[in-house]
Structure 1
Amino acid sequence: MAFATNQESVSAKPGTENTGNKYLVPFILVCSLFFLWGMAHNLDSILIPHLKKACQLNNRQSTLVDTAVFMAYFLMAIPAGAILKKWGYKSSIVLGLLVFAVGAFLFVPAANTRAYEIFLVALFIIGCGLTILETAANPYAAVLGDAKTASTRLNLAASFNGLAAMVAPIVGTMFILSGKEYTPDQLAAMPDATRMAYLMEEAASVKVPYIVLGSVLVLIAILFYFMHVPEVKPQSDDTTSKGGFFDVLKHRHLSWAVVAQFFYVGAQVCVTSFFIRMAQKGGGLDEHTAGYYLGVYGFLFMAGRFVGTALLKFISSQALLSLYAVISVLLCIVAIWGDGAYVVYALGGLGFFMSIMFPTIFALGINNLGEGTKAGSSWIIMAIVGGAILPYIMGTVIDLNNDDIQLGYSVPLVCFLVIVYYGMKGYKPAKT
């Protein structure tokens, strides 16, 4: 199935009219996509503790929410790259939005049956849609103008992803989290009918937010379908890669970007997936308050994106990435060995300093790939599978250590050490 398009193909070259207002509306539309997939990812941070309660799961089982979404990135990255290459940016974006919407609507039967398996299928489909969207939208934002400011544009667009990191936890806390919590002994003492009614009520709370999200996605897809969106070709230069999908990995800076993105996404998902439980156990907060603090984390994440975008005018991308990664290592140490409010403050700080990592790694990774930009984009998106694997490892660490949430944060600590290396050496564009 192919979508009809009315897009034109132009090359983005610095100093020409193509880098002016011509790209303003397409860039605004792309920014809306960053917000939408940010909503999906940050609602997962609410879903993990919520479905753990509603479906009676352990820590490892609850992280399958992340596994379902991010495994889709791994499995769909190559098909998404092929779709992008054949259909172009606009049609790929429309397809991604519609697939995303299908997954959102599947939350209704999942909630009606309280079937964790159906939730996971729905989340996997959402992940497939997100993969297509990100494979198209990240490089599209990068090539909508001068290549020298690609990192700045990506960070600006990603700031709306940061806005979603603030909005989604607030929405999720208001409409999904009930604040009702019972110990296993209390649940066991309930009459069967009362216990089942409570669990079904918990599961049902996800329906309205995901129906609304799915409906918005369909409307945005319709807007993209009928909107005139230019198909921009990346600039070519002496470092252009014209080989196959695997040949592009001969660029050392791309190969290391794939590794760095694997560990970054894993770190971010680890931090947010266990944020609420960490705030409850480490900070002594109740479920609702912890959920709102996750919104504060999102605000700091968003603020970090805007501050980072401004700093990139004065500091090189790799230097800022290295600095933020070192600070993140230190904050993880505070989260692991700290106590009380200091733990929650450290998690909030991680939100600020993680904020620029994904778009910065992405921009550094696809720098000077030319015709290989789309293939390189697919590889970096594929690396998002780190979000499927590392949270499960973190959940296992926690379960094997008597539900010690703080010890589990040693996993993101290791991830940030890898990013420190990338920002200092791995980003350098030398061929292997």
Structure 2
Amino acid sequence: MAGPISSGAGASATYNPGTRYGPALALLASLFFMWGFITVINNTLLPHLRSVFDLSYTQTTLIESVWFIAYFFASIPSAKLIERVGYQKSMVIGLLIMAAGALGMTLAASIPSYGVTLVMLFVIASGITLLQVAANPYVAVVGKPETASSRLNLVQAMNSAGTMLAPMFGAYLILGRSKGGTAQGDVVLTQAERLADAQSVVLPYVLVAIVLVVLAVVIARFPLPAMGAATQRHNKEERKKYSLWNHRNLVFGIPAIFIYLIAEIGVANLFVNFVSQPQIANLTHEQAGNYLTFLWGGMMVGRFAGSAIMQKFDAGHVLAAFSVGAFLVMLVTVFTTGPVAMWSLILVGLFHSIMFPTIFTLGIKGLGPLTEEGSGLLIMAIAGGALVVVQGWLADIYGLQTSFLLTAACELYVLFYALWGCKVTNALPDQQIAD
């Protein structure tokens, strides 16, 4: 028999006021924490690999590009896997894929091999992609539809908690235990020193793999609330009646995610090298890695604050205000030096904080039974982080500080999306009838 399915603010599951969603959200927040933690380890891993393999900025950022290319290739297969086995099993599989990649990083360090490192980072990122495709829309629908943006910002704050702690973890266990990480400025290592430095990534990734396996076991045994019938494959005939491309908020939301990721990843990955420069803060890479904690800490604070603010103010208006703030501090970063330039770059984390979760929830708003496919496309757009290699190329040609003008330009597109692009068109009704 056909039954009512509430799609709400882009959701396609039934909201039941009598269901307690708190425990499920708390557990899902741990997933957001872990993938944020693992992603930001890259921020300390990249300057480490730059020393070990003697890489240019372009080659260094290419490593991160491989990470984000995984989002492009893994998003659609992830959506299809979710349709086949469900959200909960997909989350478990994603965690186990990440654990396998983390263990593979220990192999890459033992050789050491630049190529194997790229492959294993791709594997880890593919696991994270599966988690993203499953967990983001799940959080958006387990609760009141009108507070979807606020709720996703709240659990994304736990993602930021992971990103805040990861630089300290990486600075201590990777940079702090290597010759290249403790030297003042860039240093050219001997072959023996490179081999020794490469081994410093073994312990961190073994610890990460253990935590991921434990979390997979917990998720597998936890009674997560079931998603509504509109997310199931038997609804595909109904989905054929509608087109994703009739929804302006999704059409402009996909490039908004893509372009925002260029900004976020460029700032995070080049932060250590930027503040280490003599005209900025003149720090060692290990010391700069500790300051990276403040960048990600600002994102955590911003997401908690944004979650509260969006309980009272329109999400699009809040996104517009934050994008203006991000644009202004990036101009300060480019055109000043010393501590002012360093702290302005740190401050952009606060303004970046709400961008991804808010763009995501605005992008799937009103999609009804198309939410699953729309979510997959938005997660695929995270591949925009791969274009951080463009900023690496700009840094090599025009200088690292000047390359942050690219970041400032990205903030302007987010402003456009907040003011006009996110407006919902052809919204599907909240009540959809399933076959």
Instruction: Tell me the TM-score normalized by structure 2.
Output: 0.89
What's the offset of the Cα at 1:197? 2.2
The answer to whether the 8 Å contact 1:12/1:232 transfers is no
Q: Secondary structure of 2:227's match?
A: strand
Q: Deviations over 1:152-189 (max 9, x none)?
A: 110011000110121000111111103333788864xx
Contact 1:162-1:299 within 8 A present in 2 as well = yes
1:57-136 to 2 correspondence within 5 Å? 57-136=55-134
The question of whether the paired residues in 1 share the 8 Å contact of 2:7 and 2:369 is answered with no
- Corresponding residue for 1:192? none
**Equivalent residue number for residue 226 of structure 1:** 221
8 Å Cα contact 2:256/2:414 also seen in 1: yes
Pair 1:342-2:340 in alignment: yes
Cα deviation, 1:86-127, whole Å, max 9, x if unaligned, reads: 222101111111111111110111001121111110000011
Alignment counterpart, residue 390 of structure 2, candidates 390, 393, 396: 393
Partner of 1:333: 331
Does the alignment pair 1:249 with 2:251?
Answer: no
- Which residue of structure 1 lines up, in the alignment, with residue 432 of structure 2? none
In structure 2, relative to structure 1, the CA distance for the partners of 1:362 and 1:241 (3 Å cut) is: farther
1:410 aligned to 383, 405, 408, which one? 405
C-alpha deviation, 1:17, in angstroms: 8.0
Q: Alpha-carbon deviation of 1:370?
A: 1.2
Q: In structure 2, what residue type is equivalent to 1:247?
A: S
Which residue of 2 is the match for residue 270 of structure 1? 266
Give, in angstroms, the shift of residue 11 of structure 1.
Answer: 5.9
In the TM superposition, residue 412 of structure 1 has moved relative to its aligned partner by 1.0
- The question of whether the paired residues in 1 share the 8 Å contact of 2:163 and 2:296 is answered with yes
* Cross-structure match for 2:421: 426
* In 1, Cα distance between equivalents of 2:36 and 2:150: 19
Partner SS state of residue 306, structure 1 = helix
Residue 299 of structure 1: which of 288, 297, 300 is its match?
A: 297
Match of 1:216 in 2: 211
When residues 183 and 216 of structure 1 are mapped into structure 2, their CA distance, relative to the original with a 3 A threshold, is closer
Equivalent residues in 2 for 1:346-365 (5 A)? 346-365=344-363
SS of match in other structure, 2:330: helix
Question: Kindly tell me: are residues 242 and 280 of structure 1, through their superposed partners in 2, closer, same or farther at Cα, counting changes over 3 Å?
Answer: farther
Query: What is the letter of the counterpart of residue 257 of structure 2?
Result: Q
1:30 touches 1:137 (CA, 8 Å); kept in 2? yes
Q: Which has the higher contact order (CA 8 A, sep 6+)?
A: 2
- Find the partner of 2:319 among 308, 311, 321: 321
SS in 1 for 2:346: helix
Q: Aligned runs of 1:29-48 on 2, under 5 Å?
A: 29-48=27-46
Closer/same/farther in 2, CA of residues 336 and 233 from structure 1, 3 Å limit: same
Letter paired with 2:392: G
Please, what TM-score do these two structures have when normalized by structure 1?
0.90
Q: Which amino acid aligns with 1:394?
A: Q
With over 3 angstroms needed to count, the CA separation of the structure-2 counterparts of 1:115 and 1:363, relative to structure 1, is same
Amino acid aligned to 1:267 = A
Q: Which runs of 5+ in 2 are unaligned?
A: 9-13, 428-435
- Of the structure 1 ranges 135-144 and 242-251, higher mean CA displacement relative to structure 2 is found in 242-251
User: 1:13 touches 1:19 (CA, 8 Å); kept in 2?
Assistant: no
Aligned pair in 2 of structure 1 residues 17, 360: CA closer, same or farther (>3 Å)?
A: closer
Mapping 1:191-202, distance limit 5 Å: 195-202=190-197
User: Which AA in structure 2 matches 1:213?
Assistant: V
3-state SS in 1 of match to 2:283: coil
Ranges in structure 1 where 5+ consecutive residues have no aligned partner: 1-8, 188-194
Deviations 1:225-257 (A, max 9, x none): 122112222889xxx994359932321111111
Post-superposition Cα deviations, 1:196-251, rounded to whole Å, max 9, x if no partner, equal 22111211111111111111111111111122112222889xxx994359932321
Give the match for residue 377 of structure 1. Answer: 375
Matched residues in 1 for 2:151 and 2:230: separation? Answer: 16
Q: Which amino acid aligns with 1:176?
A: I
- Equivalent position amino acid for 1:158 in 2: Q
SS across alignment from 1:79: helix
Give me the identity figure in percent: 34
Partner of 1:190: none
Residues 241 and 80 of structure 1, relative CA distance in 2, 3 Å threshold? same
Q: C-alpha root-mean-square deviation of aligned residues, in Å?
A: 2.4
What is the distance in 2 between the residues matched to 1:75 and 1:66? 15
Bigger Cα displacement from structure 2, 200-209 vs 121-130: 200-209
Instruction: Find the aligned partners of 1:66 and 1:247 in 2 and give their Cα distance.
Output: 33
Cα gap change, 1:128 to 1:18, in 2 (>3 Å): same
The within-5 A match list for 1:142-221 is 142-178=140-176, 179-181=181-183, 187=189, 195-221=190-216
